[in-house]
Amino acid sequence: MPGNDTLYVVDTSALIDMKLYYPISIFESLWKRCTALAHNSRMCAPTAVFNEIIRKDDELALWTKRYYRYLFQECTGFQVEKVQEILSEFPGLIDHNRETEQADPFVVALGLERRDGPQKPLVSQTVVVVTQERTTPKRSTKKKKVIIPDVCQHYDLPCITLIDMIANERWRF
């Protein structure tokens, strides 16, 4: 999967964990490499991720604001249709009692759009969702909250963690 043909669609959890475990002030080269991925159209996230991140006023919020135009993708009609389809199939993906928009279905929808929709690039790319959510073989989606890897598996959309992305890119620090 590594190489310049991989597009990473990043979930809020991956960016928050990156901030927690690899602070910008200490792991500057990691953040520069992620910024370069965004600049080269190889890393993106839906604006719903941005909206979740800026609820806190911290270094991650500042970083996302600084690189907003490179990293975040506005919602399209295709994505809205996919979000409706995803939530119809997986209503447990979001908490229906929360008043704020939740990014998870938009992350998957953006991945599907970049893989299958009108926004896919002319040059073939492998689209991969990056999230810190993890599924287990015995996990029952009927009893527990549905998570991004469950939905990605349904759509045959690769889903990895942040450390997997770092390994795929063959970054060494």
Express each pLDDT in 112-168 by its tens digit.
999 998 866 677 789 999 999 987 666 554 556 899 999 999 999 999 999 999 999
Contact 78, 117 (CB under 8 A): yes
Tell me which DSSP letter residue 91 carries: G
Average pLDDT score over the chain: 91
Domain count, the chain: 1
Tell me the CATH number at 49.
Answer: 3.40.50.1010
Domain-located, residue 88: yes
Domain boundaries, position 11 = 6-168
Rounded to whole angstroms, the Cα distance separating 8 from 36 reads: 12
Q: Are 17 and 113 in contact (CB under 8 A)?
A: no
Please state, for a pLDDT cut of 90, what percent of the chain lies above it.
80
Whether residue 1 lies inside any domain: the answer is no
173 within a domain of the structure (yes/no):
no
Residue 94 domain-assigned (yes or no): yes
